[in-house]
Structure formats: structure tokens, C-alpha cells
């Protein structure tokens, strides 16, 4: 019965369902490497891996990509970090509600600015990943290598943070420990010292976020991709190695920690010393690493998510389906791995379980068939073939798929004499 086989083959993509349900961590260390453009890093790791041993090590440990994205409109530090904190685009995306974006598009914040008061007025309070972690009782820490990130620390402090309405009241200050100041050159080891000291202890902060400014600072002074810049990245590599080491050696953290490493933006796109133009591939292309228990080592991070697809060389806006993986995805990803809900109002929501998508099929009395699968699996394409074989010619179906109540639905006819096979394939 050929038709039955055709539907069994729909399940052929179920490879790692265990990951979806079992991945949970107790600790998160989220690292933002300012200005670390992936176009350069990818080249370094291909051509001079011995000079970047800890990035190589992280690639081997983690699921990663050298093709993630910053915000669509803006490739600057403070707006992108606000996006990472809130899970919201910087500006209102075309055809989307005026309550979607955070609206803080000032890379040089005023001395009393908050994302709430100076950002999108239609969202009086913009929650962050620190809100969720803190309100659910987890200790939190922020280490920043730029004083300008004080705007974010201030937005979630004892004055400006929202009341904690989740179980016990842990106060309005969402960030238990904050070290925010300008740190550059060899001093970045001092910034990382603070993180390492805490991560070496018996009671590390449950959610640590560290921003390292150096790739950006050297990019502005010496040019992205210059010899000085690659040396700055080697300096960062050394610091990254210390972070990997402490997660490995502290038994409290080992096998209980997610390390997420990405960047706010790249650089050197139009001019060698800047990154203002969000339309340039060197500015919008950033790396993304996820190292966590049960995450397949040395793998493509795009394979983990049902609604994230590798964008190739494209710069995709917030209406594109599927979305590329963005720097801000790290925050809701981290919360999910901690077993916590996503940031309220956020829209950067990567869905884990990328290979675990099931298509259902029903046959009506008139002989017509209907197939349906979750609309969250937006990174999958429906394909058809006259034969069921790896070597068969599979053609993508682009017409006739409708989104009906959270499900993609496709109707078709089939007959025993002219049977076709159908499958979902991850883009």
C-alpha cells in the first residue's frame, strides 16, 4: 500500500526528540562580544585555527553558526543590547503592531535614560530576561565593558524595575550584581576575573551576562579585520577559554550550564572602522554558539530550531519566514533552558526541537487528503516526489498551504495509480 508508506516517510526526520524534552540547565552564562563580526571569525577559524584555540574548542563543544543576525534595522551596540535584553526589535517592523519594538535607538544614552521612559511609549515597561530570572528567584549578574550599558542596568534597578509579582517578592532590582564600566585592552582580563571568581564559587549567579567591548574598540581604532583586530580577537579567545574552563572544572556548573556566545553586531562593512550600516553583510553577520548539556556537539545550531532557518547571505526583516537566528534569540533560549517562560512581549522566540516536527494526514470521504503540521515549524518546507528514495527528485510545494489556527494546512488528492510522497524538510 503505497500511500501508507508515503505517510510513514513523513516521520523520517524525527532524529533527536530527547533533546526537546530533557534539555534543562541550572545556570546560564551569556556572552556578548561587541563587534565580533562572523565574516572575520569564520575566516580566522578556517585559516589560522591554532591562533584561536578556544573558539575552535567552543565550535567542537557546541551547536553554532557563523551566520546569525543582529537587529534588522540597527547595527549599533546599545540598541542591539536593548534588543538582546528585551527580545524586541529596535524599531517597529513594517505591518506589525506598535507594541512590538522597544524603540530605544540611541547609541549614546542620556545620563538618566531608561528603555521604559525613552523607548517605545506604547510599551510603558519593557521586560528583560533579567526580569524573568530574578522574579522566579534566580540570582543574576551583569558585567559590562562599556559604561554606556548603564542605561540597561538603570532600566532594571531598584527604582525603575517592575514589581516582582511572581511568588516571593525578590524586590524590584532585577540585577543582583552589576559591574558596568569602560574596559579595554589587556584590562578585559580583569573584567573576566570578576566573572570567573563568581563562577568558581560554590554558589555562582544563576544567570550571568557579560559584555566584552574589545573587538569593537579595536575595530574602531585599527579597522575590522586588521592585524590589531585579529590580535584583539585572540585576546578575547583567551578570555573565552577561561570561561569554558571554569564551567568545565567547577562541579556545580559542569553539565548544568548553558554557555551562549554571540555578538551585538559585526563591523568594517562600508568603512573599515565602523559598523553603522545595518544593510552590509559584514555588519549584520554575527556568530552564535550554544554549549549546553544534551545539545549536539560540533553541530549546526540552526538544526535545533523549528522556526529558524539559515538566511544564506540575505538580510531578512522581521516579517521573513523563517526568521534567521538573531543575537536576541539567546535570551529566550536561555530562559527556556532554565525552565522559565519567555520575556513578556518579546518576539525573538526560537523554538527548540527543530527536528521533531510531526505532520498529520487525514483522508476525507470524497478521497481528498489534508495534511497539517504546527505553524511554529516555519523553517520547514513541504516537498513531494513520485518516488520514495533518497535519490528521488523532491519538489517544494509553494502554493496552497494555508495557516489555519496555528497549523499549516495543505489539501491534495492522491490515487493508487499515481501516488505521490510527501515530506517536511528543514530548510
Binding site for Zn ion (CB under 5 A): 216
Nearer to Zn ion, 215 or 336 (CB): 215
Query: Cβ of residue 32: shortest distance to Zn ion, in angstroms?
Result: 13
Give the Cα separation of 103 and 113 in Å (integer): 13
Give the Cα separation of 357 and 380 in Å (integer): 9
Nearer to Zn ion, 59 or 188 (CB): 188
Query: Cβ of residue 265: shortest distance to Zn ion, in angstroms?
Result: 7
- The residues, any chain, with a CB within 8 Å of residue 419's CB and separated by 6 or more, are 2, 3, 6, 386
* Helix segments in 119-163, DSSP class H: 129-135, 150-155
CA distances for 64 relative to 248, 264, 301, 310, 381, angstroms:
19, 16, 5, 12, 22
Nearer to Zn ion, 119 or 145 (CB): 145
Nearer to Zn ion, 151 or 258 (CB): 151
- Classify 64 as helix, strand or coil: strand
* Closest residue by beta carbon to Zn ion: 216
Q: How far is CA 336 from the centre of its chain?
A: 12
Query: Cβ of residue 217: shortest distance to Zn ion, in angstroms?
Result: 8
Stretch (H or E) spanning 33:
strand 27-33
Nearer to Zn ion, 131 or 216 (CB): 216
CB 324 within 8 A of CB 315: no
Give the Cα separation of 263 and 82 in Å (integer): 13
For residue 216, give the C-alpha cell: 569593537
Nearer to Zn ion, 36 or 133 (CB): 36
Give the Cα separation of 402 and 168 in Å (integer): 44
Query: Cβ of residue 262: shortest distance to Zn ion, in angstroms?
Result: 16
Nearer to Zn ion, 113 or 216 (CB): 216
Query: Cβ of residue 77: shortest distance to Zn ion, in angstroms?
Result: 6
- Classify 391 as helix, strand or coil: coil
- For residue 422, the cross-strand partners are 384
Query: Cβ of residue 31: shortest distance to Zn ion, in angstroms?
Result: 17
Query: Cβ of residue 298: shortest distance to Zn ion, in angstroms?
Result: 31
Amino acid at each position: 500500500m503505497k500511500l501508507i508508506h508515503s505517510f510513514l516517510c513523513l516521520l523520517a526526520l524525527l532524529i533527536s526528540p530527547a533533546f526537546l524534552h530533557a534539555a534543562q540547565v541550572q545556570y546560564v552564562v551569556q556572552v556578548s562580544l561587541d563587534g565580533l563580526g562572523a565574516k572575520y571569525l569564520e575566516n580566522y577559524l578556517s585559516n589560522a585555527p591554532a591562533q584561536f584555540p578556544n573558539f575552535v574548542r567552543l565550535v567542537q563543544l557546541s551547536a553554532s553558526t557563523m551566520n546569525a543576525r543582529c537587529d534588522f534595522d540597527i547595527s549599533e551596540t546599545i540598541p542591539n543590547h536593548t534588543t538582546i535584553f528585551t527580545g524586541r526589535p529596535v524599531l517597529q517592523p513594517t505591518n506589525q503592531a506598535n507594541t512590538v519594538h522597544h524603540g530605544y535607538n540611541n547609541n549614546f544614552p542620556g545620563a538618566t535614560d531608561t528603555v521604559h521612559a525613552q523607548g517605545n511609549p506604547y510599551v510603558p515597561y519593557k521586560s528583560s530576561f533579567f526580569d524573568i530570572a530574578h522574579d522566579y528567584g534566580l540570582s543574576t549578574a551583569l558585567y559590562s565593558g562599556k559604561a554606556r550599558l548603564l542605561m540597561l542596568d538603570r532600566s532594571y534597578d531598584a527604582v525603575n524595575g517592575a514589581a516582582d509579582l511572581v511568588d516571593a517578592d525578590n524586590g524590584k532590582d532585577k540585577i543582583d550584581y552589576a559591574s558596568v564600566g569602560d574596559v579595554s585592552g589587556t584590562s578585559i582580563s580583569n573584567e573576566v576575573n570578576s566573572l570567573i571568581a563568581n563562577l568558581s564559587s560554590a554558589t555562582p549567579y544563576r544567570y550571568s551576562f557579560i559584555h566584552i567591548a574589545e573587538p569593537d574598540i579595536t575595530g574602531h581604532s585599527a579597522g575590522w579585520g586588521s592585524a590589531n583586530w585579529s590580535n584583539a580577537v585572540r585576546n578575547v579567545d583567551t578570555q573565552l577559554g577561561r570561561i569554558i574552563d571554569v564551567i568545565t572544572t567547577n562541579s556545580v556548573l559542569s553539565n548544568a550550564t548553558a554557555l551562549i556566545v554571540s555578538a551585538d553586531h559585526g563591523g568594517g562593512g562600508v568603512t573599515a572602522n565602523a559598523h553603522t550600516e545595518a544593510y552590509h553583510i559584514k555588519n549584520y553577520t554575527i556568530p552564535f554558539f550554544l554549549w549546553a548539556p544534551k545539545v549536539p556537539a560540533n553541530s549546526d545550531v540552526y538544526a535545533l530550531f523549528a522556526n529558524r532557518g539559515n538566511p544564506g547571505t540575505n538580510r531578512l526583516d522581521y516579517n521573513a519566514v523563517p526568521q534567521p537566528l538573531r543575537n536576541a534569540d539567546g535570551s529566550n533560549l536561555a530562559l527556556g533552558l532554565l525552565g522559565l517562560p519567555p520575556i513578556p512581549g518579546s518576539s525573538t522566540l526560537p523554538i527548540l526541537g527543530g527536528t521533531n516536527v510531526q505532520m498529520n494526514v487525514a483522508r476525507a470521504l470524497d478521497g481528498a487528503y489534508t495534511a497539517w503540521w504546527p505553524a511554529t515549524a516555519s523553517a520547514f518546507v513541504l516537498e513531494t516526489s513520485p518516488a520514495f528514495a533518497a535519490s528521488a527528485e523532491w519538489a517544494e510545494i509553494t502554493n496552497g498551504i494555508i495557516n489555519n489556527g496555528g497549523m499549516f494546512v495543505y489539501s491534495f488528492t492522491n490515487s493508487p495509480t499515481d501516488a505521490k510522497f510527501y515530506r517536511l524538510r528543514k530548510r
